[in-house]
Amino acid sequence: MGGISKFTRWRTATAERVGRADRDLLVLTIGMTAIVMFVNTGGNIMPQVVRSLAGIGLPPDRLLSTAFLLNIALVIFGWRRYRDLAEEVAERSRAEERARELAETDPLTGCLNRRSIAPATEALIAASSERGELVAFIMIDIDNFKRINDANGHGVGDLVLQECARRIEELLPERGLLARLGGDEFACVVPFHAGMAERIDEFAERITGAVARPVPHGEQTIEVTVSVGVARSDGACDPERPVDAAELLHMADVAMYQAKKAGKNRFFWFERPMESELRFRSELETAMRAGIRKGEFVPYYEQQIDLESGTISGFEMLARWQSPRFGLVGPEAFIPIAEDIGVIGELSERLIAEALRDAQGWDPRLTLAVNISPVQLRDPWFAQKLLKLLIEARFPPSRLEIEVTESCLQENIGLVRSLITSLKNQGVRISLDDFGSGYSSLAQLRTLPFDRIKIDRSFVTAIPGNRDSATIVEAINSLGEGLGLPITAEGVKNKAVVEALKQIGSFTAQGYLYGRPEPAAMMRKRLSALDLLCDEPAAAAQEATVPLSGAA
């Protein structure tokens, strides 16, 4: 139907243009005829009119007079049609020019767009080659732009894009090109002499410095940084392999990804090995998506030990990927990727659901702790999703402990407070993970309803030989006692650390001293040997008979 209507519109427009051209030709013919007749008739009638006005001779011939007046009307009509036609042509030319501008430029920033940058780059490459120059294609991506949009609204996001474009354009050399490729991506194309690549280094540094200045908005300022990737038209220093605009864009994009990976707010030149790494990353992403569907991601469990009694108090669930291709993969490798590609929520929910089923068979005194990604805490429906999993598993909320990293508190404290309060109202316990490594303030500890503090392992492992670390742990212990919060020490790897912790205070500990994380089957054997399994798994769910209401 779309093809038929498009053809119909084209046929109608064509018919209108043909009809308009026929009418214009007819009017032009009539006008020219009228002018010829006006000249001939006027030559005959005008002398008669003059003599008649002078009182000499007979009045002018009525037929010739009527024809003469008709000729005047036709000439006026032809002139008006000519003027209208000229205005129509001018208007059509302006519309075509406007359409061309819309097709080639970005309406928000006035830069070139993705469609027009390729031919413009090809033309610049050709012109620069004649001058003995190369071309650098510079990809620029605004860091964390989605967060800027989410926190401040799309109007502020547009303001940031316009200001970034203006700042980059101010630095652009005379023959340089600037385009907005879409979203938060820009591209510069700059000619340079082959032996002076350092000029491009300086240009890229000026871009990162100029864009990194705060963008004012009312009474607040928006902090902005960019990651930059640079590629050159001789094919990454390979004179035998010149590249076109499309490949230049691809190479600059690969280099920009490396800048992102290295910490953002910096620039990288493209190098061939980067392509292999990016290809591996793409394969890893594909394998992860398939692995989630196939159930290759499984929960492992790390013991938590009460140092006073020496007994198991619970387990922390840690994710592992049992990949047929890559082997057993730890969370430090796949969690950042899962967050980047937007599957962390699905992955986490699957693992939590499985862990809740495993924990149903434990002794009711044992707790289950799970880590939550900062990405999940930006989901306003996260509390409802978690409560739904608890209801489906008939697992007591009081035995579940959600671990929130300290860095999460800086992203959206209002939403985090709402989610924490919602979960607390349902009986779920909340712990502040990796305490001491982030920037949480005492005010946040006081106002947010945490149930536990977990000391970052970097302080715990260094206690025996590092007085500074021991002092920090002592201070955190005093803080916990003052706030009435129990403390867990992560990273306990030897008995010296245990003795040091016992001298400081009362702790729950976890670490390799008590064994490495284990899959569910091995962990059940350990609990069975300690008589810490329920005879009837359903008995563990009796505490969950109280109905759970919706999140507040």
- With contact defined as beta carbons under 8 Å apart, do 109 and 167 qualify? no
Q: Would you list the DSSP string of 305-347?
A: EETTT--EEEEEEEEEEEETTTEEE-HHHHHHHHHHTT-HHHH
Tokens of 331: 């969370």
List of residues 6+ apart from 386 with CB closer than 8 A: 352, 402, 423, 428
Q: How many other CB atoms are found less than 10 A from the CB of residue 531?
A: 7
Strands 400-405, 429-435: pairing is: parallel
Specify which residues 112 forms β-bridges with. Answer: 105, 179
* Tokens of residue 472, six digits: 């920090």
Measured CA to CA, the distance from residue 511 to residue 243 in angstroms comes to: 53
- Give the residue from 496, 487, 407, 406 showing the smallest Cα distance to 453: 487
CA distance linking residue 431 with residue 456, whole number of Å: 12
Helix or strand or coil: residue 440?
coil
Contact 241, 233 (CB under 8 A): no
> Where does residue 370 fall: left (phi above 0), alpha (psi -120 to 50 degrees), or beta otherwise?
beta
- Active-site hit among 184, 253, 434, 456: 184
Amino acid at 293: R
CA distances from 461 to 327, 331, 476, 489, 492 (A): 28, 21, 15, 9, 6
CB-CB contact of 453 with 432 (8 Å): yes
Is 22 a catalytic site residue?
A: no
| Cβ atoms of residues 509 and 501 within 8 Å | yes
CA distances, 267 to each of 140, 190, 490 (Å)? 9, 15, 36
d(CA 300, CA 283): 25
Neighbours of 253 (CB within 10 A): 19
Q: Which two tokens stand for residue 204?
A: 């890229």
Q: Judge whether 486 and 480 are in contact, CB under 8 Å.
A: yes
Q: Look at residues 219, 120, 226 and name the one whose alpha carbon lies nearest to residue 165.
A: 226
| Encoded tokens for 23 | 């009418």
First to last CA, the chain: 49
Cβ neighbours, 10 Å, residue 540: 21
Residue type, 510: Q
Sign of the Cα pseudo-torsion (468, 470, 473, 477, in order)? negative
CA 189 to chain centre: 23
Point out the residues that are catalytic.
184
